């Protein structure tokens, strides 16, 4: 063969290999996006896409022109054409995003090859194919995959026009720029990038400078005319413009958005990983600068300028608002992998990047959310003709355009529009009319904040009707009955809640009916997160039916309850197996931390309210609602010793912070008479945890008492160690008999990780442990350094905590003035329990406390049981001198105590001498006339 033939053969071979790589990338991208595409409800934005697109062309244009905060029409028009061809099932509604995302990956290969070379194009396409954020938007029925594609093709068209300024290339650039502006307004930020390139690289961009300026002015004029003719867009601009300028840079929001762009997940523990990704991206631009300064400048400006503009706009920063800059980040990473030297360093960088993306794929395939469709299904099961359905705000009602409610339900939106949102003069009379017209009112809250920022709808229902049933965000309210039996009571729950009166609609209630309960409360600094639980207790104190709820309305405007509050609730007696008989209606209260507040006089968790007689249901009685379908997390099924089966599992969350409890619910079924047993739980991951033992059944109804076929639900709470390394952990269980011998098990679940999916459709449990589900343990942001310029103290409290120092705003005050005090606490050893801190400002003679404040550290958000040895935690107080305080030198004493026993920790000075009364003198305040 001649040299020319050899070169041609080599070129063909290289081209075929490159094409095979590109096809592999596209197949990978397709598989990642199409798997499980039809599972889960359409989200609000996706239903909005359906709502706008499922109409004629003129209807789409008319709607986007008059609707506030709406996007331009091009993507909706394309989706509308797709609907006419393919239909509107969940899968088909999302499928255009898959196809457009594939085109974006292909174009990333093409543009990367042009800017970075053949290998750079391959890496650019691969990264765009596998990045979790790209997968997520490629599975969502919105315009964002099209935004990515248009950003790529527009920049390429501009680059091509720059290199060869012909009329044809100008026309392509103009058409694509207008298409981008008519898809998402943020794509006009690319004009800023192009303008910055003309300024930064005047020599190589000289030939298109004036044509580009004329083009952009023409495009801006066309866009301005469209906006001027769009009342909705004008209203959006007016509302957004009224909030300019943005008062802060909101760097915390920006960090979250960048974490989502790189990993589609934002968590404090992931920031170092994303920081590394940002450094590699910037390194790619730097390496490219040595090869081609205009190319490197283009990518850097493409990524940074749109991001800077978004930061300046007074809107919440979301990753999807930075998507026009996303391809530049991808190309930067591809440049780093391509240009790094030596070759081994490139391989290491590539493997690290791909490993991070692969390990975070699972987050893109979180359990499908079917909340709203299940709520609608529950309405079809439970709603009756004549019922009303209220949506708290107009936006959640959007979902009914896809998931249809029963035809016999009268549907309302309160408020009807947002913004401006709730109007008391209009909406309260509407609520009164709705309550009068319907004996039962269902309320779907959903996203209420923008429509009802003060939560007036929730407050009205809480003050006027009885919350008698809840299913996710759906509530059923019943009207005030004609008569109520009132009983005076005197119940004190700590110093926070006093129940002085209870009223019932009846003391004899049939199975399937609702017991309405009204509690008259006096509240003292009660947080809305305080949990109340109404329960029916048998004579032995066993709880047979209960309803737990946060005090106050479903939604609320601030953190503190009013001093006087009337709680209206209903207890729907629908628990399976509830026998007729005599019961005690009782109340239990938990504070915002989850600790039970004991009723002071009795010392029992449950405070009795009244005696209730449960009788058999009459024929005319309202049938009970169907029981909650038993959740089967990942289809987990486990049988122990062929007698006890785990048939349902509901983890409280797939994410938990260090030191917080891991909570889950389990549904057990008795398949045969069983002996008593112990359940053991452990976490296996970066560092396995100790085994925790539990009773698998409630104490009042042990396993050996169950009847064959009976189903029992039990809640479990597993404490996560404070120092457990962050990462993914497998939650595993086993069962043992009384002698500690493991019971045989069999069962399986759905695969949860990428590698499990490769192995097969089910994960079979082997050995003694059943691997139930995966939880992500997040690491807390901890501080181990004391700040500079603090006044040191060094007091020691129980060899557990040290008051390392403090900062005081002013030490000289007049009566009525205030100053800020910041204490810096350091854990000497990991605290094993929650402690409280007291501060007493004492008169010069030591007899009178003129100011005091007890507190949980960090306002109860980060209490001592979460601290680790050496950690520094600050606590801020506002120290106020009461009016009328005489002049003198006042000493502030600080101490630590156990809130359960009110016993103080022993307090020692830095030399080891114990302070009197275990009160450490911290500072002196000089009160002057």
* The two structure tokens encoding residue 929: 């006339």
pLDDT band at 360 (very low <50, low <70, confident <90, very high): confident
Does the pLDDT value for residue 542 go beyond 80?
no
DSSP state letter for 403? S
- Find all residues with CB under 8 Å of 167, minimum gap 6, and list them: none
Long-range Cβ contacts of 503-506 (<8 Å, 24+ apart): 504/585, 504/610, 504/612, 505/481
Instruction: For residue range 773-825, list pLDDT tens digits in order.
Output: 999 998 888 888 888 878 888 899 999 999 999 999 888 999 889 999 999 99
Per-residue pLDDT, averaged over 246-257, amounts to 81
Q: How far apart are CA 120 and CA 21, in angstroms?
A: 12
813-856 confidence digits (pLDDT tens):
998 899 999 999 999 998 888 899 999 999 998 888 999 988 87
- State how far the Cα of 908 lies from the Cα of 917, in Å rounded to an integer: 11
What is the radius of gyration, based on Cα positions, of the chain? 32
pLDDT value of residue 577:
43
Judge whether residue 129 has pLDDT over 80.
yes
Is it true that the peptide bond before 415 is cis, omega within 30 degrees of 0? yes
What would the DSSP string read from start to end of 128-148?
Answer: HHH-HHHHHHTTSSSSHHHHH
Q: What DSSP state is assigned to residue 466?
A: E
Q: Are 668 and 644 in contact (CB under 8 A)?
A: yes
Furthest-apart CA atoms within the chain: distance in Å: 109
CA-to-CA distance for 462 and 431, rounded, in angstroms?
A: 12
pLDDT value for 127: 94
| pLDDT the model gives residue 614 | 79
Percentage of the chain with pLDDT > 90? 45
Return the higher-pLDDT residue of 4 and 306.
Answer: 306
pLDDT at 622: 40
Q: How many residues does the chain have?
A: 929
| Cα torsion 787, 792, 795, 796: sign | positive
pLDDT at residue number 619:
46
- Give me the torsion for CA of 370, 376, 379, 380, rounded to 10°: -110
In sequence order, the 6+-apart residues with CB closer than 8 A to the CB of 900 are none
The residues pairing with 748 across neighbouring beta strands, listed in sequence order, are: 637, 764
The helix (run of H) or strand (run of E) holding residue 268 is: none
What's the confidence (pLDDT) of residue 246? 65
Q: What is the spatial distance between Cα 572 and Cα 552, in angstroms, rounded to a whole number? A: 19
The DSSP symbol for 684 reads E
**High-pLDDT (> 70) share of the chain, %:** 93
Backbone dihedral region of 760: left (phi > 0), alpha (psi from -120 to 50 degrees) or beta?
left
CA distance 442 to 448: 15
DSSP single-letter state for residue 422: -
User: 14-18, 201-205, 317-321, 648-652 — which is least confidently predicted?
Assistant: 14-18
Give pLDDT, residue 3: 58
Token pair, residue 278, equals 């940002």
Q: Which residues pair with 921 in a beta bridge?
A: 893
Q: How far apart are CA 794 and CA 911, in angstroms?
A: 9
86 phi and psi angles, rounded to 5 deg: -110, -15
**Model's pTM, two decimal places?**
0.63
- Which DSSP symbol is given to 384? -
Quick check: helix, strand or coil at residue 701? Answer: coil
Helix, strand, coil percentages for the chain (3-state, nearest 5): 40, 25, 35
The count of other CB atoms within 10 Å of the CB of residue 419 is 12
Beta bridge partners of 276: none
pLDDT band at 336 (very low <50, low <70, confident <90, very high): very high
Sort 99 into a burial class: Cβ within 10 Å, 0-12 / 13-18 / 19+: middle
What average pLDDT does the structure give for the chain? Answer: 87
Copy the structure tokens of residue 66. 């008059």
Cβ contacts of 794 within 8 Å, gap of 6 or more: 802, 803, 804, 805, 909, 910
Distance CA(777)–CA(269), nearest Å, equals 9
Contact 48, 40 (CB under 8 A): no
Q: What is the mean pLDDT of residues 911-920?
A: 91
* CA–CA dist 864, 857 (Å, integer): 7
Q: What is the pLDDT of residues 15-58, one digit of tens each?
A: 677 678 878 889 999 999 998 888 888 888 898 899 999 999 99
């Amino acid at each position: 063969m001649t040299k020319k033939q050899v070169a041609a053969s080599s070129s063909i071979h290289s081209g075929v290999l490159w094409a095979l790589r590109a096809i592999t990338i596209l197949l990978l991208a397709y598989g990642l996006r199409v798997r499980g595409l039809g599972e889960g409800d359409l989200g609000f934005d996706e239903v909005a896409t359906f709502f706008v697109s499922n109409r004629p062309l003129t209807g789409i244009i008319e709607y986007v022109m008059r609707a506030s905060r709406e996007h331009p029409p091009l993507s909706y028009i394309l989706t509308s054409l797709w609907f006419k061809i393919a239909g509107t099932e969940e899968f088909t509604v999302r499928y255009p995003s898959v196809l457009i995302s594939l085109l974006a990956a292909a174009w990333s290969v093409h543009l990367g090859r042009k800017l970075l070379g053949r290998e750079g194009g391959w890496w650019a396409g691969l990264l765009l194919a596998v990045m979790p954020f790209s997968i997520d938007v490629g599975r969502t029925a919105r315009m964002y995959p099209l935004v990515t594609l248009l950003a790529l093709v527009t920049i390429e068209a501009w680059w091509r026009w720059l290199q060869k300024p012909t009329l044809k290339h100008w026309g392509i650039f103009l058409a694509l720029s207008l298409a981008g502006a008519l898809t998402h307004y943020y794509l006009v930020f690319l004009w800023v990038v192009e303008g910055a390139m003309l300024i930064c690289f005047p020599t190589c961009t000289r030939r298109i400078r004036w044509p580009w300026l004329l083009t952009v002015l023409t495009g801006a004029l066309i866009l301005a005319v469209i906006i001027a003719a769009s009342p909705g867009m004008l209203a959006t601009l007016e509302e957004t413009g009224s909030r300019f300028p943005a008062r802060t840079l909101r760097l915390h929001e920006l960090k979250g958005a960048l974490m989502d762009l790189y990993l589609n997940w934002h968590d404090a523990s992931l920031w170092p990983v994303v920081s590394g990704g940002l450094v590699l991206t910037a390194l790619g631009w730097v390496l490219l600068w040595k090869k081609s300064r205009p190319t490197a400048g283009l990518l850097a400006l493409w990524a940074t300028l749109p991001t800077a503009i978004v930061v300046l706009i007074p809107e919440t920063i979301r990753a999807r608002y930075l998507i026009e800059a996303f391809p530049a980040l991808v190309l930067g990473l591809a440049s780093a992998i391509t240009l790094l030297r030596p070759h081994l360093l490139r391989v290491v960088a590539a493997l690290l990047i791909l490993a991070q993306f692969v390990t975070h794929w699972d987050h893109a395939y979180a359990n499908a959310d079917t909340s709203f469709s299940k709520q609608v299904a529950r309405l079809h099961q439970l709603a009756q003709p004549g019922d009303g359905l209220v949506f708290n705000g107009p936006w959640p009602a959007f979902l009914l355009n896809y998931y249809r409610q029963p035809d016999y339900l009268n549907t309302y939106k309160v408020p009807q529009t947002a913004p401006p949102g709730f109007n008391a003069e209009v909406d309260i009379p509407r609520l009164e009319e709705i309550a009068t017209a319907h004996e039962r009112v269902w309320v779907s809250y959903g996203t209420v904040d923008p429509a009802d920022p003060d939560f007036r709808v929730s407050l009205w229902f809480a003050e006027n009707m009885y919350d008698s049933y809840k299913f996710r965000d759906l509530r059923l309210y019943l009207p005030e009955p004609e008569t109520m039996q009132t009983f005076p009571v005197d119940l004190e729950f700590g110093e926070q809640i006093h129940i002085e009166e209870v009223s019932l609609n009846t003391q004899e209630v049939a199975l399937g009916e609702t017991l309405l309960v009204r509690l008259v409360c006096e509240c003292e600094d009660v947080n809305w997160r305080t949990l109340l639980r109404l329960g029916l207790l048998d004579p032995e104190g066993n709880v047979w039916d209960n309803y737990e709820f946060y005090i106050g309305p479903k939604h609320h405007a601030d953190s503190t309850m009013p001093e006087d509050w009337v709680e209206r609730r209903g207890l729907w007696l629908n628990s399976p197996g509830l026998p007729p008989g005599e019961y005690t209606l009782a109340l239990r209260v938990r504070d915002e931390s989850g600790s039970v507040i004991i009723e002071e006089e009795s010392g029992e968790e449950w405070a009795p309210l009244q005696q209730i007689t449960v009788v058999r249901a009459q024929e005319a009685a309202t049938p009970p609602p169907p029981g909650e379908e038993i959740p089967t997390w990942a289809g987990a099924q486990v049988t122990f010793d062929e007698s006890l089966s785990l048939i349902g599992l509901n983890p409280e969350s797939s994410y938990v912070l260090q030191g917080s409890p891991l909570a889950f619910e389990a549904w057990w079924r008795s398949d045969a008479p069983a002996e008593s047993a112990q359940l053991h739980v452990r976490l296996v991951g970066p560092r396995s945890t100790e085994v925790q033992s539990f009773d698998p059944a409630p104490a009042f109804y042990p396993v050996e008492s169950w009847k064959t076929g009976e189903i029992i639900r039990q809640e479990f709470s597993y404490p996560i160690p404070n120092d457990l390394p962050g990462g993914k952990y497998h939650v595993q269980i086993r069962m043992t008999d009384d002698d500690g011998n493991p019971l045989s098990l069999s069962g399986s679940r759905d695969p949860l990780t990428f590698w499990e999916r490769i192995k097969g459709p089910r994960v079979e449990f082997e050995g003694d442990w059943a691997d139930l589900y995966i939880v992500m343990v997040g690491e807390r942001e901890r501080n181990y350094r004391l700040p500079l310029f603090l006044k040191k103290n060094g007091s020691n409290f129980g060899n557990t905590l040290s008051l390392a120092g403090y900062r005081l705003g002013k030490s000289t005050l007049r009566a009525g003035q205030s100053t800020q005090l910041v204490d810096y606490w350091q854990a000497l050893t990991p605290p094993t329990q929650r402690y409280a801190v007291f501060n007493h400002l004492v008169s010069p003679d030591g007899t009178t406390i003129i100011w005091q404040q007890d507190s949980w550290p960090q306002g109860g958000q980060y209490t001592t049981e979460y601290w680790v040895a050496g950690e520094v935690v600050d606590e801020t107080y506002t120290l106020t001198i009461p009016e009328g305080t005489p002049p003198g030198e006042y000493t502030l004493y600080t101490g630590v105590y156990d809130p359960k026993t009110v016993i103080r920790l022993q307090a020692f000075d830095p030399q080891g001498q114990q302070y009197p009364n275990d009160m450490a003198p911290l500072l002196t305040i000089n009160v002057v006339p």
